[in-house]
Amino acid sequence: MHLVIIGGSDTGISAALRARELDREIDITVLVGDAYPNFSICGVPFYLSGEIERWQALAHRTQNDIESLGIELRLNTRATAIHAAEHALSLQNRESQESRIRYDRLIVATGARPIRPPLPGVDSPRVFFLHSMEDSFRLETFLTSAKPRSAVIIGAGYIGVEMADALTRRQIQVTLVEQAATVLPTVHEELGEMLQDHMHSHGVRVRTRARVTALEDGEDGIFVHGEPDWHVETDLVLVAVGVSPDTALARAAGIAAGIRGAIRVDRYMRTSLPDVWAAGDCVETYHRLLGSNTYLPLGTTAHKQGRIAGENAVGGRRAFEGSLGTQVVKVFDWAIGRTGLTEAEARHAGFYPLKASVTDWDHKVYYPGATPMTVALIGDRSTGRLLGGQIVGHWQGQVAKRLDILATTLHHQATVESLNDLDLSYTPPLRSPWDPVQQAAQKWLKVLS
Ligand SMILES: Cc1cc2nc3c(=O)[nH]c(=O)nc-3n(C[C@H](O)[C@H](O)[C@H](O)COP(=O)(O)OP(=O)(O)OC[C@H]3O[C@@H](n4cnc5c(N)ncnc54)[C@H](O)[C@@H]3O)c2cc1C
């Protein structure tokens, strides 16, 4: 049996590893569109900031690690067509040589591409996007050769805010432009405003409720024009306005697509074609709280779904348990993250959300190094069920692990009140007898009553 996987990033390699773990006999071939199999693109901002010196360190595993498991990696090789009836693929390598490969089982893990807004001037050599290792080399080359002193980042989602931090560390004056009311619009406005102030204190100029309308090359820089009535000249522009699923190949083969053009899959990661699975940033994702599919491209989900597709492609029957949209980001001294639904999303989904928040110390304040942390919880008024949570605090204050307590509670569909019953660890240098997430739960119950 021959398992072929299209795409050699988080999803594709997770699938290959799981398939190999379960079946030592089958042939596994991964088509890697570039020369960088299994690189952690989530780490790219930290390479560009200079915090990680060698890009090679971003490899989750080396090529050798993977090949030593009997997984064939075909680098710089792209699938150009899926011939479903013949169970075959057309391939093209970097030298434009064409070939064909047969498969018995196929996993599509083609990921996503950065959205390219239709702005005049977007093709300028001073405009950058960030999704692949090659994108990061292009930006790094510009940073070292042109030595830009200023940058405009369009989009203040998690990549935009991470890159504002990264470029500031390289002594570049950053202006961050966001059309929503605050940076990181996926969290509640109060937390977004707190992050905005923090970024401002580190020298980032933040422009919210602003829309870029055109880019225009100048003699020594690039002009950014925006609304309402806003113009600035800068040395480089980074566009980080989100991604869209890369599904042209799958759709041309007749594989059904759904939300935002992402491949439609069931909980077993099966597509509409026999013997073809798909996973990661190119597919719709089952949302555990909504009980329906959405599009939520994230690295953690990509790893999980890839593992499930790999297992099922070799005869397993594992279902994807669903995403909660859990994500966290480090920006300068802070970490900020969310899991589950925001208040507005919960209302939209038909819940009766109630929000409460507290600010307290990450550990007992008498022990040196305590830092404040804000926890916001969203629970359902009628059932008491936890629906979501958001946390902002010092990046070494265990924000991520506290979010994970909330994510675990959400996974088990437990109530806000049940957070108080959790037997969490405590020692003064690390925690308080009542953790901030439990204090937030108590506050939520008080507001409810
Ligand atoms: C800068 C940045 C920071 C991020 N940080 C985080 C984070 O902190 N936390 C988090 O959870 N997520 C993060 N993400 C998102 C995360 O990286 C993605 O969700 C994850 O990489 C998706 O993996 P994937 O394998 O599905 O897709 P991709 O990583 O997009 O990989 C798809 C691969 O398929 C290849 N391919 C496409 N078409 C073909 C073809 N026809 N033939 C052969 N190969 C093909 C592409 O070349 C690509 O290598 C970040 C993303 C970026 C860009």
| Residue 159, amino acid | I
Contact 277, 271 (CB under 8 A): yes
Binding-site residues, ligand 1, Cβ < 6 A: 6-12, 31, 33-34, 41-42, 44-45, 78-79, 109-112, 130-131, 159, 246, 249, 280-281, 297-300, 302, 327
Q: How far is CA 414 from the centre of its chain?
A: 26
The span from the CA of 299 to the CA of 316, in Å, is 23
Residue-level pLDDT at 356: 98
The CATH classification of domain 336-448, taken from the options 3.40.50.2300, 3.40.50.970, 3.30.379.10, 3.30.390.30: 3.30.390.30
Task: Give CA separation, 10 vs 220, 266, 342, in Å.
Answer: 39, 20, 27
Bridging pattern class, strands 77-83 and 372-380: unpaired
Q: Please report, for the chain, the start and end positions of each structural domain, with discontinuous segments joined by +.
A: 2-41+58-112+244-313, 127-239, 336-448
Fold equal for 2-41+58-112+244-313 and 336-448: no
Say how many Å lie between the CA of residue 384 and the centre of ligand 1. 37
Rounded distance from Cα 14 to ligand 1 centre (Å): 12
Beta bridge partners of 127: 237
Q: Which CATH number is associated with domain 127-239?
A: 3.50.50.60
**Residue 186 CA to ligand 1 centre (angstroms):** 20
Report how far apart, in Å, the C-alpha atoms of 329 and of each of 10, 186, 239, 304, 311 are: 19, 12, 18, 20, 30
Name the residue at shortest CA distance from atom 37 of ligand 1: 110
Q: pTM for the complete prediction?
A: 0.96
Question: In 3-state terms, what secondary structure has residue 313?
Answer: helix
Ligand 1 atom nearest to 33, measured from its CA: 44
Give per-10-residue mean pLDDT for the chain (449 aa): 98 98 98 96 97 95 96 98 97 96 98 97 97 97 97 98 98 97 95 97 97 95 93 97 97 97 98 98 97 96 98 98 97 98 96 97 96 98 98 97 98 98 97 97 96
DSSP string for 33-91? SSS-TTB-GGGHHHHHTTSS--GGGGBSS-HHHHHTTTEEEETTEEEEEEETTTTEEEE
pLDDT of amino acid 229: 86
Q: Could you tell me the distance, in angstroms and rounded to a whole number, from the CA of residue 44 to the centre of ligand 1?
A: 11
Neighbour-count burial of 433, counting CB atoms closer than 10 A to its CB (0-12 exposed, 13-18 middle, 19+ buried): exposed
pLDDT for 324: 98
Provide the 3-class DSSP secondary structure of residue 418.
Answer: helix
Question: Distance from the CA of 131 to the center of ligand 1, in angstroms?
Answer: 7
12 in Cβ contact with 108 (< 8 Å): no
In this structure, the residue with its CA closest to atom 28 of ligand 1 is 111
The atom of ligand 1 lying closest to the CA of 112 is 30
Of ligand 1's atoms, which has the minimum distance to the CA of residue 329? 8
Q: How far is the CA of 298 from the centre of ligand 1 (A)?
A: 8
Ligand 1, pocket-test mutation among 281, 308, 336, 338, most atoms within 8 A of CB: 281
Best residue for ligand 1 mutational test, from 6, 14, 41 (most atoms within 8 Å of Cβ):
41
| Alpha carbon nearest to ligand 1 atom 32, residue | 111
At a CB cut-off of 8 Å and minimum separation 6, what does 268 contact?
277, 308, 312, 317, 318, 319, 320
2-41+58-112+244-313 is a CATH 3.30.43.10 domain: no
**Element of type H or E holding 347:** helix 343-348
Give 444 Cα–ligand 1 centroid separation in angstroms.
Answer: 37
Find out whether 240 and 159 touch, Cβ atoms under 8 Å: yes
